[in-house]
Amino acid sequence: MKHKPVAFPCHVKLERPSALDKTADRDRLEGQLQRMGMAHVEIPLNVQRKLSEALRAGDFELDVVIGVKPSKSRNETGWRLIDIGKATTYGLAIDIGTTNIECAMFDLSTAEKILIHGVENPQIKFGHDVLTRVQRSMTGESSLMSDVLADGINRMIRGICELKNISADEIAAVTVAGNTIETHFFLGLDVRNIPLSPYVPAVNGAFFSTAAEIGLEMNQNASVYVFPNAGSYVGGDVISGILFSGLSKEERPCLFIDVGTNVEVTLGCRDWIMVGAGAAGPALEGGVAGIGKKAESGAIYKVKINSENKKAEVEIIGGGEPTGICGSGLIDLVSEMFSSGVIDSSGTLCGPEEDIPERMGEKAYIVYGSAEKELYLTQSEIKNFILSKAAMFSFLYVFVKSVGLTFRDIDKVYVAGALGCGIDLQSAMNIGMMPDIPKDKFIPLGNSSLQGAAMVLLDSGLVSEVDQIAKKITYREMNEDGELMSVLQGAMFIPHTEPDLLKG
């Protein structure tokens, strides 16, 4: 492999000791590793304790697992001997989201992806948003959120190991990206000052540690790398996503939109990076609608409405009867409702009063109906959705304008998060959620935070690039922006009261 993963296996063959060469076992191994280009390998005591026996069992040939420890103080690389006697080595890239924890497992000898696995963040039972969880930590139970998260992650790791029939002891490296609060919870750091002015986290810089220090149930010497943050509002997940997108290497300004529980927008290029965040997310993840659900089996992800009979034809993930609608399905649905005349530009259901069904005491549109199942969207849900799309667009508009640019100046638009995978761009443009610029400028990324974490896992040399991205970022507080409100008013219509704004 060209790149050095955060940990990797390697085979070492030593000269046998003799009357003329009585060099001790550890020092002999150190010498050979140095000749192989790995000078001054740090060897934990628990590895040294089993070295003598392992060397003799293998007649002075040995499989070792080396951890790469990028030195903070120099460009030089440090090395750590994670384990001996193991020929297979696995690594995990973990994205700790507010709602879900996603994990990708790799064989570090081949860089082959073994699996992608996701679980719900178990903290969700204490609150859907991170601030509720921070408040919980401020009222006495300071370590509860960390403990719950640690349990969840360890349970996830056990699950993966069972699934793939490997020993947790073979996991030798982990990279972790998440928002600032979640990575603080992950490390058991104090989050109580984050919501208090001047909003200072416990840690900004990247964190290098071991599984033992953090309490991860895997090889206790495993190297753990946690992405840096750029303040309380710009987490390692954004930085990891920027790394994966390549935005920080672009010559011309690009937009990077990550829609998760929150919407995070990054604008920049290789010279500067600006990040802003807003709370438009839940709506776009399907959270505004009673029928909203994750993009998983049973979810409607595509909708066509017949403009004659106003009936919807839906496509369902995995086929069969639908159980809900995912974020991209919802965008499609509202776009179709508008273009087929089911709703007007303000999102009001139109047509003869008697033709519009009522559900939950208000007007509604039936998305799907069978003998067993009915899925509908109420008038207020439609209005909520439009508020979300309006917030999203206004945010993008004001954000881009605030640095003296227009949408026309944007070279590429990376779209990450749940939305990034299946979104119908034309629909998003139709309703004025996304800027109306050439479609080939849009690049869907999926879970960019997880993929950025995987990049570092497989190429430890990228940690310095991550540091540079973090240093380049400036955070822009958008809630204080007066223009946001005026743009938002017009964006509450489909596509907008001033359609020219959509083009920048």
Residue 503 CB, shortest distance to a copy of itself, in Å, is: 36
Asked if 240 and 227 count as a contact pair (C-beta separation under 8 A), the reply is: yes
Helix (H) or strand (E) holding 169: none
Binding mask 89-128 for a copy of itself (x = CB under 8 A): ----------------------------------------
Interaction of residue 202 with a copy of itself, rule CB under 8 A: yes
Instruction: Kindly state the smallest distance separating residue 222's Cβ from a copy of itself, in Å.
Output: 14
Q: Which among 173, 228, 165 is positioned nearest to 201, based on CA atoms?
A: 228
Q: Does 220 bind a copy of itself (CB under 8 A)?
A: no
In sign, the C-alpha dihedral spanning 382, 387, 390, 395 is negative
* Residue 438 main-chain phi, psi, to 5 deg: -50, 135
**3-class DSSP state of 254:** strand
If binding is defined by CB under 8 A, does position 236 make contact with a copy of itself?
no
Q: Work out how close the CB of 351 gets to a copy of itself at its nearest, in angstroms, rounded to a whole number.
A: 53
Binding mask 349-368 for a copy of itself (x = CB under 8 A): --------------------
| Residue 191, token pair as written in the block | 């989050």
Considering only residues 414 to 433 of the shown chain, the ones binding a copy of itself according to CB under 8 A are none
Three-state DSSP state, 388:
helix
Binding segment (CB under 8 A) for a copy of itself, from list 19-27, 243-251, 285-293, 310-318: 19-27
Give the span between the Cα atoms of 185 and 156, in whole angstroms.
17
Cβ neighbours around 273 below 10 Å, total: 26
Work out which of 154, 204, 402, 497 binds a copy of itself, going by CB under 8 A: 204
C-alpha atoms less than 13 angstroms from C-alpha of 341 in its C-beta half-sphere: 7
Task: Tell me the β-bridge partners of 473.
Answer: 273
Q: How far is the CB of 478 from a copy of itself (least distance, A)?
A: 16
Q: Crossing angle for the helix pair 482-491 and 379-402, nearest 10 degrees?
A: 140
Q: Which of 6, 12, 51, 96 binds a copy of itself (CB under 8 A)?
A: 51
- Using CB under 8 A, which of 26, 270, 359, 401 touches a copy of itself? 26
Q: What is the full DSSP assignment across 398-438? A: HHHHHTT--GGG---EEEEEHHHHH--HHHHHHTTSS--S-
Measured between alpha carbons, how far is 171 from 107 in angstroms, rounded to an integer? 9
**Interface positions, 75-94, toward a copy of itself (CB under 8 A):** 76, 78
DSSP H or E run through 367 = strand 362-369
Q: CA 88, CA 135: separation in Å to the nearest integer?
A: 43
344 makes contact with a copy of itself (CB under 8 A): no
Instruction: Compute the least distance from the CB of residue 187 to a copy of itself, in Å.
Output: 6
Which of 27, 112, 308, 355 is the binder for a copy of itself (CB under 8 A)?
A: 27
Nearer to a copy of itself, 201 or 420 (CB): 201
Question: Looking at 2, 37, 45, 75, which residue binds a copy of itself (CB under 8 A)?
Answer: 45
Q: How far is the CB of 394 from a copy of itself (least distance, A)?
A: 25
Look at residues 216, 232, 55 and name the one whose alpha carbon lies nearest to residue 131. Answer: 232
Give dist(CA 170, CA 54) in Å, integer. 17
Q: How many of the chain's residues bind a copy of itself (CB under 8 A)?
A: 48
Tell me: does residue 340 bind a copy of itself (CB under 8 A).
Answer: no
**The one among 1, 35, 39, 151 contacting a copy of itself by CB under 8 A:** 39
Give the binding site for a copy of itself (CB under 8 A). Answer: 17-19, 21-27, 30, 39-40, 44-46, 48-53, 56, 72-73, 76, 78, 187-190, 192-193, 197-205, 209, 213-214, 229, 231-232
